Structure 1
Amino acid sequence: MHRYRSHTCGELRASDVGSDVRLSGWLHNRRDLGGILFIDLRDHYGITQLVARPGTPAYEALDKLSKETVVRVDGTVVSRGTENVNPDLPTGEIEIEVGEVEVLGAAAPLPFTINTEDGVNEERRLEYRFLDLRRERMHRNILLRTSVISAIRHKMAAMGFNEMATPILSATSPEGARDFVVPSRLNPGKFYALPQAPQQFKQLLMISGFDRYFQIAPCFRDEDARADRSPGEFYQLDVEMSFVEQEDVFQPIEKLMTEIFEEFGRGRHVTSPFPRIPFREAMLKYGSDKPDLRAKLELVDITDVFEGSEFKAFAGRHVRALPVPAVQDQPRKFFDQLGEYAVSLGAKGLAWVRVTEDGSLTGPIAKFLTEENVAELTKRLQLAAGHAVFFGAGEFDEVSKIMGAVRVEAAKRAGHFEEGVFRFCWIVDFPMYEKDEETGKIDFSHNPFSMPQGGLEALETQDPLDILGWQYDIVCNGVELSSGAIRNHEPEIMLKAFEIAGYDRETVEEQFAGMLRAFRFGAPPHGGIAPGVDRIVMLLADEPNIRETIAFPLNGNAQDLMMGAPTELPEERLRELHLSVRKPQPK
């Protein structure tokens, strides 16, 4: 018999009754019922119940051991009997009469329980992540991640994509976040940068003639944590294709996403095909370029209805309306709570009216609306008895943010929200540039390496704020899964695009020397995308925080509490790297 096990803890069934077996695993739980000791033994594959009877060496050994001790047990498979079957366990029809016990790894007192999902705080969980990962939910999430990545690799290869590795040590690149830098011992005073994305390298692979590339790529960005963004590092499915237009990129990625979410989504329906929503339409209808389409409500721009109005709250401001049908049975509390929610987002309040049976409007602002206002709102919003309308007014971006969130919250509260589904969409036609409201400077709004719609002619003849880029995002249930673009592969178009954003020719030639040199030796039209693996798994696992799907994440302050990183370097190591440390002065 094998030194440690003849079977796993998820393997034995009723057909094994009478067999002598050997199992190894962790003591998951212990119950003493009428003097008989019942132990749940856990390993990677499942749980098997052990039985130790009083007066036996096995009882004496197991009774003294703490939970999470690793043991090897020898015993005989016996039937539990019909009345004692545990239907929640694959091994629930049998148990092991233990004859011999060997301790393989003793466990110290636990900082938190493993066999229950108690309310231990995240910092504690991350400090003892190796224990946290033993919990059923976390173990399941990490295995889901493994299965998803394996399936992605298989499906990408089946569609003719070639997996290739790109460098980790490289040069800094303006991807929109701070780089993590690595000092060079052999080149004093110089630094490598960890890649924020393999952007330039995957484009260079297309220029090198490889046509279809993919990689499960590690990316590094020195940015703050969010629920859907892990600080420090993350993984993405990095994809690039040659001789393609936008729809050519959409087809294989949409196929991949549909198949992955159907395979691992536990029966939740997947939108197919994905609707294409222009950026400006998304901002007007949903208040966000990451719309949650499970909410079956849309915003309507009614700014023009109140042009020249004497109602000061709306006059001269951007006004967005949210019509909500079938709220006739909602109490006043429904309206008040939505108002409180809007205030929590930064609004000064949330105006609203309700449509009565005779078509008239009631509510806090009804008296400020003229007959012309009511007629136009009724027509524009297709109002009927039982409808309510919520209003937001102010600057465009502010109103979009607040009313976009109110749209989803109102849908959930009023029964217009679709549960148990994955609602995908493509957001397309992003503006190439945006203006900084404080400085007036024109800058890239999305991806500086994108091809502008209209090419060089658009850059030379159009207002920069009117130019659209061949840029696109995939959004699912209000979560941005990826950004992508058709790339700018022509040197003169690239130089002009950066010139508009304030970069002189010399700077661009210096910062992107490798890319420009490659473009000048025959670059094919190409484009790509990079869905976030962590976010895909987060949605599939139905977890609200991305750290719940990563084996060893950093905390919100970009610290590894388990390994104690980041750390200070000793003086001799700093000298070897030609570095000196200047710490911030205490305030």
Structure 2
Amino acid sequence: MLRTHTCGQLRKTDVGTEVTLCGWVESKRDHGGAVFIDLRDRYGLTQVVVGPPEADAAMIDQAGRVSTESVILIRGNVADRLEGKTNKKLPTGDIEVRSVHFEILNTCETPPFTPSQSDLPGEDLRLKYRFLDLRRPEMLRAMVLRSSIVKAMRDYFAEHDFIDVETPILGRSTPEGARDYLVPSRVHPSKFYALPQSPQLYKQILMVAGFDRYIQVARCFRDEDLRADRQPEFTQLDLEMSFVDSDDVIGLIDGLVAKTAKEILGKEVQLPLPRITYEEAMRRFGHDAPDLRFDMEIVDITSVAAKTEFRVFRGTADAGNFVRGIPVKNAATKYSRRQIDELTEYVKNDFGAKGLAWFRVEDDGTLWSPISKNLEPEHLEEIKTLMAGEPGDLLMFLADTWETTCKGLSGLRRRLASELGLIDPEALNCSWVTEFPMFDKDEETGSWNAMHHPFTAPLASDLELLKDDPSKCRAQAYDLVINGSEAGGGTIRIHDPATQSVVFDLLGIDAETAEDRFGFLLNALKYGAPPHGGIALGIDRWVMLFAGLDNIREVIAFPKTQKAADLMTEAPGGVDKAQLEELFLRTAKVPK
């Protein structure tokens, strides 16, 4: 090695030792005759002094001219810092290295930004110069955290006798909801591979093969519209188990959550993690990944609305829709009329709500609002009772369809919790949502879609509903929720061909299409497939949540933008005509 020690390693016990350090120039201070350099590597920072009597004039001049972020090698002696010059913020703050040899390994041009600057540039510039951005301590910590979480996961599943198996990246296109990324084949003209959206089918086949417990840190790809917490390529901890039910899988992941929370964050997690059904989550929180770090649960007052003469409430109830609201504790004086108007526009523009009704609970316990004169006192009292309203509370309501009230109140609930400081940034709240519907209906076509994927098994008690009433059929599906974000999702799989055929029929997948897309799986199920199930945990999202961040790109070394572009490498890029001809392809004219 060029170096004997790292820049975070030296202590007072090393005083008098000759060492060689390599790293990047974080900063320098020329004191006229002596140059002080803060030398940085991934392990820390060490102060280097280039000055007499150890350094001659030429070396001091060279050190004075070196630019920040250049890479240097120094050899010197470890010494105590002068009295009053120690830096208690640094582990190496009691010592310095007095250089006897100074060597520039590589210079750095004037960078567009420096890793140490406090005012960060825009994200696009940071992504273009990602190699500089990754030098920032915050990015380094995120990458170290990611590595630690993955190691903890691997260790945990190794202890539970899982086999790590790599499944193919080049596979067959079997659409699972999002668009596939396609890869043309040179040796099979007009044929395409697809990059995996998940290893779903392969891991089921591994269970048929008798592997019993499979694990993989899997790279997955989905050509879908992006958000702050999504990427076109992502990493998941993928597992499958034989001879299990939902409780077995959930119990195993409970242990993983407790282990990682303890090892990575030093937090104790009470087991078993709480579970709520999908129906309960939508009724109480309006979302299938509810944030349970704060209260503000949704309350249904449709029964009262149906008795009033207030046109908006009564008309909504008579149409078979809902009037639902959230009680915002001690917020009556915290939101002005102008701010409530802004919240009204928020639920209208973002969630399609028709408006936002509200009441303040006055000091005498009465409800006041511009609409309170339209309701009888006894109805106002009923509303207050249902909402458990107390003086100083602000009660907010949407009158609309079930879907709109769910989306609008869930969004409003999260926004108000953030604005009112109700969320403890140090909290780690983990829970399960279970018993999802098997299907949802496409309102435009009237066809059924799988809520998770077409290989999900129904609850045994709902098996007959596959034929009688698919809308009421519940799945053996379970999602892990951390701080209001889906951190993993899994199901017990269909392991018999007959049930799989019924599900395909409901989804409009005829026998010929099923054979074309999934024939290899259907064939495997005929040869002694055990009951099996599993889960996929989003590693990128776990790291984001454990780091307390809200942008998944901050925990991925080389992420894509929201337009699925890599600004550093300028991918995707063009290819020359010869490459296309080899693949029997030509590009269509791009429409304006």
User: What is the TM-score of this pair, normalised by structure 2?
Assistant: 0.94
Within 5 Å, give how 1:362-401 maps onto structure 2: 362-401=368-407
1:29 pairs with 2:27: yes
Distance 1:404 1:453, change over 3 A: same
1:10 pairs with 2:8: yes
Q: Alpha-carbon deviations, 1:488-543, whole Å to 9, x = none?
A: 11111011011112121222122111111111111100000001000000111112
1:135 pairs with 2:136: yes
1:79 counterpart residue number:
80
2:194 counterpart residue number:
193
Partner Cα separation in structure 2 for residue 312 and residue 141 of structure 1 = 53
Answer whether contact 2:30 2:64 (CA < 8 A) is retained.
no
Answer whether contact 1:30 1:37 (CA < 8 A) is retained.
yes
2:180 counterpart residue number:
179
How far the C-alpha of 1:5 sits from its partner, in A, is 1.1
Q: Alpha-carbon deviations, 1:262-297, whole Å to 9, x = none?
A: 3222x4564543211111211121111111111222
How far the C-alpha of 1:18 sits from its partner, in A, is 1.6
Q: Aligned match of 1:571 in 571, 577, 586?
A: 577
Distance 1:133 1:405, change over 3 A: same
Letter in 2 for 1:364: P
Q: Look up the SS of the partner of 2:155 in the other structure.
A: helix
1:284 pairs with 2:283: yes
Partner Cα separation in structure 2 for residue 408 and residue 574 of structure 1 = 49
1:302 pairs with 2:301: yes
Partner Cα separation in structure 2 for residue 438 and residue 310 of structure 1 = 34
1:256 pairs with 2:256: yes
Partner Cα separation in structure 2 for residue 128 and residue 87 of structure 1 = 32
Gap runs ≥5 in structure 1:
none
Answer whether contact 2:437 2:471 (CA < 8 A) is retained.
yes
Letter in 2 for 1:255: G
Within 5 Å, give how 1:451-462 maps onto structure 2: 451-454=457-460, 457-462=463-468
2:245 counterpart residue number:
245
How far the C-alpha of 1:358 sits from its partner, in A, is 3.1
1:105 pairs with 2:103: no
Q: Alpha-carbon deviations, 1:8-41, whole Å to 9, x = none?
A: 1111101111211111111111123465321110
Answer whether contact 2:8 2:46 (CA < 8 A) is retained.
yes
How far the C-alpha of 1:308 sits from its partner, in A, is 5.4
2:40 counterpart residue number:
42
Corresponding residue pairs, total = 582
1:450 counterpart residue number:
456
Q: Look up the SS of the partner of 1:234 in the other structure.
A: strand
1:61 pairs with 2:62: yes
Letter in 2 for 1:559: A
2:356 counterpart residue number:
350
Answer whether contact 2:462 2:474 (CA < 8 A) is retained.
no
C-alpha RMSD of the superposition: 2.0
Letter in 2 for 1:293: L
Distance 1:262 1:339, change over 3 A: farther
How far the C-alpha of 1:408 sits from its partner, in A, is 2.3
Answer whether contact 1:196 1:221 (CA < 8 A) is retained.
yes
How far the C-alpha of 1:79 sits from its partner, in A, is 0.7
Answer whether contact 2:25 2:40 (CA < 8 A) is retained.
yes
How far the C-alpha of 1:406 sits from its partner, in A, is 1.3
2:336 counterpart residue number:
332
How far the C-alpha of 1:486 sits from its partner, in A, is 0.4
How far the C-alpha of 1:402 sits from its partner, in A, is 1.4
1:319 pairs with 2:329: no
Q: Alpha-carbon deviations, 1:462-490, whole Å to 9, x = none?
A: 31111111111111111111110000111
Moved more, 526-535 or 168-177: 168-177
Q: Aligned match of 1:485 in 488, 491, 498?
A: 491
Moved more, 329-338 or 269-278: 329-338
Q: Look up the SS of the partner of 1:531 in the other structure.
A: strand
Q: Look up the SS of the partner of 1:421 in the other structure.
A: coil
Partner Cα separation in structure 2 for residue 393 and residue 230 of structure 1 = 35
Q: Look up the SS of the partner of 2:221 in the other structure.
A: strand
Gap runs ≥5 in structure 2:
none
2:514 counterpart residue number:
508
Moved more, 570-579 or 366-375: 366-375
Q: Alpha-carbon deviations, 1:128-162, whole Å to 9, x = none?
A: 11111111111111111111111111111012211
Within 5 Å, give how 1:211-226 maps onto structure 2: 211-226=212-227
1:157 counterpart residue number:
158
Partner Cα separation in structure 1 for residue 390 and residue 462 of structure 2 = 50
Answer whether contact 1:218 1:235 (CA < 8 A) is retained.
yes
Within 5 Å, give how 1:82-97 maps onto structure 2: 82-97=83-98
Moved more, 294-303 or 209-218: 294-303
Partner Cα separation in structure 2 for residue 162 and residue 195 of structure 1 = 20
Answer whether contact 1:27 1:41 (CA < 8 A) is retained.
yes
Q: Alpha-carbon deviations, 1:385-419, whole Å to 9, x = none?
A: 33321111212222211111211233344454344
Q: Look up the SS of the partner of 1:210 in the other structure.
A: coil
Answer whether contact 2:466 2:503 (CA < 8 A) is retained.
no
Within 5 Å, give how 1:430-579 maps onto structure 2: 430-454=436-460, 457-579=463-585
Answer whether contact 2:466 2:473 (CA < 8 A) is retained.
no
Partner Cα separation in structure 2 for residue 466 and residue 562 of structure 1 = 49
Distance 1:261 1:344, change over 3 A: farther
How far the C-alpha of 1:375 sits from its partner, in A, is 3.3
How far the C-alpha of 1:6 sits from its partner, in A, is 1.3
Letter in 1 for 2:39: L
Partner Cα separation in structure 1 for residue 49 and residue 494 of structure 2 = 68
User: What is the TM-score of this pair, normalised by structure 1?
Assistant: 0.95
Partner Cα separation in structure 2 for residue 494 and residue 516 of structure 1 = 8
Partner Cα separation in structure 2 for residue 341 and residue 581 of structure 1 = 42
Letter in 1 for 2:142: N
How far the C-alpha of 1:343 sits from its partner, in A, is 4.8
Q: Alpha-carbon deviations, 1:401-442, whole Å to 9, x = none?
A: 111121123334445434411111111111111111122222
Partner Cα separation in structure 1 for residue 190 and residue 461 of structure 2 = 40
Partner Cα separation in structure 2 for residue 547 and residue 342 of structure 1 = 28
How far the C-alpha of 1:327 sits from its partner, in A, is 3.5
Partner Cα separation in structure 2 for residue 472 and residue 156 of structure 1 = 19
Partner Cα separation in structure 1 for residue 175 and residue 73 of structure 2 = 55
Partner Cα separation in structure 2 for residue 492 and residue 45 of structure 1 = 58
Q: Look up the SS of the partner of 1:98 in the other structure.
A: strand
Partner Cα separation in structure 1 for residue 31 and residue 345 of structure 2 = 52
Answer whether contact 1:351 1:364 (CA < 8 A) is retained.
no
Moved more, 108-117 or 37-46: 108-117
Answer whether contact 1:42 1:48 (CA < 8 A) is retained.
yes
